[in-house]
Amino acid sequence: MDRPFAAAHRPPRRPWAWAGWFAASQLLVAALWWRYGWAIGLAALLPSHAAMFWGTLWPRSRLFGPVLSRLATAERAVWLTIDDGPSRDTQAMLDLLDAHRAKATFFVVAERAERHAGLLREIVRRGHEVGNHSHSHPSARFWALGPRAMAREIGEAQRRLAALLPQPPRWFRAVVGMANPFTAAPLRRHGLSRVAWSARGFDAVEADPDKVVARIERDLAPGAIVLMHEGSGHGRNVEAMRRLLARLDELGYRCALPEARPGDA
């Protein structure tokens, strides 16, 4: 299979490195509070906690570990990623990808994959890739999971997907893209590399396919990681994918899978 770019497969090497600098920052805050009073102490406290929130809520943040958001290539090629399946849309998505000779990585939810194991096998049979997108997809609270719950969401998904696939997933996408400080340890344990994106159309909530494609087109560039979804409540993900693939053809872009290569965190 022709793969125009390589992606550094980088499971976190030091998943608890953040804890050291955070502890040091809080000792500094305590010292300032004791020496200069609450006004200075509070002024020092807020930035340290703001950094933790930013690291969690910003999908491309590398504060807690490495994350891929774009790939290096001179070719007009993108990495198309599809979240939240398998679903009622999967078969139609696969047919569209075949029609455009496009390849994609499906970031699947393990509970849904077990219910639709035939679709999971079909994804692989047609030459696409499967990534880990959590066990149960707790979209409202994934960002706030503690270490045990986070380990279960990632580890249980990896175990169940590995039992259904010829090879276990190597890529992970955080639910809603938000990875808190406790995400890195299970990624390291299971040899997973986190993937974000550089182009998205908000198709999980936007029902107008033209708006979805227009937003993605603004951020298109060689090596872009494109985020799409399937199975959304508005029911128009397949139509949005049809418009996107047609537009990519018009612009001379192709969708290909990256070749993983070893990398250092």
Q: Decide if 49 contacts 22 (C-beta within 8 A).
A: no
Q: Nearest CA to 132 among 93, 88, 90, 163?
A: 163
CA distances to 51, 208, 234 from 212, rounded to whole Å, are 31, 6, 13
Q: Say whether 95 is catalytic.
A: no
What is the residue whose two structure tokens read 């990624």? 187
Ramachandran region, residue 134 (left: φ > 0; alpha: ψ -120 to 50; beta: rest)? left
- In whole angstroms, what is the distance from residue 182 CA to residue 22 CA? 14
CA distances to 19, 46, 145, 150 from 50, rounded to whole Å, are 15, 6, 18, 21
Active-site residue, selected from the candidate residues 2, 9, 83, 219: 83
How far the first Cα of the chain sits from its last, in Å, is: 27
Active-site residue, selected from the candidate residues 9, 116, 133, 229: 229
Give the chain's radius of gyration (CA, Å). Answer: 20
Token pair listed for 178: 């938000």
Query: Any idea what DSSP says for residue 165?
Result: S
Residues with Cβ within 8 Å of residue 142, at least 6 apart in sequence: 134, 153, 174, 175, 176, 178
Token pair listed for 216: 């993605």
Q: Say whether 229 is catalytic.
A: yes
Please identify every residue annotated as catalytic. 83, 229
